[in-house]
Amino acid sequence: MLRYTLLHPGLAAALAAAGHGSRVLLADANYPHSTGVRAGAERVHLNLRPDLVTVDQVLEVLVEAVPVESASVMVPGGVAGDVAPAGEPVPAHAGYRTVLGPHVGWHELDRFAFYEAARSDDVALLVATGDQRVYANLLLTIGVRQG
């Protein structure tokens, strides 16, 4: 019997197969789930309907299950097609920072740099959510378990 709140068998198995330095992408509903990570990355679809589940809800469960070393988020970069001006704060990110705390490294990447990072070989898992907020994607790096 598990002693923490993560009960999804596929998600638990994918996290167990990943190690420190592996990355986990919590993707919003607008992210290209089938092509936005390398072909061999595990995919877990939790996008039942719009806003169910959200990236925040998945993050709250994941931080109990694995140590998080750093996080990267997508921010407006002032390129054609961006839905928000560059330099504007992204509302979705405030909750992530609260859950992750001050000791987790924080990186902001423009849309295309984020896509490139998410397609790298160290991305082990994509979790597709129903999150409807813009720029709600979150790329986590698993850290080393202490103790």
Global pTM reads: 0.93
Specify the pLDDT at position 1: 46
Q: What are phi and psi of 96, to 5 degrees?
A: -60, -45
Residue owning tokens 């979150």: 138
pLDDT tens sequence across 94-107: 999 999 999 999 99
Which band of pLDDT confidence, cut at 50, 70 and 90, is reported for residue 87?
confident
The burial class, CB within 10 Å (0-12 / 13-18 / 19+), for 30 is: middle
Q: Mean pLDDT, to the nearest integer, of 136-141? A: 98
Specify the pLDDT at position 80: 58
Distance CA(45)–CA(27), nearest Å, equals: 10
CATH T-level fold of 22-142: RbsD-like fold (3.40.1650)
Q: Mean pLDDT, to the nearest integer, of 56-64? A: 97
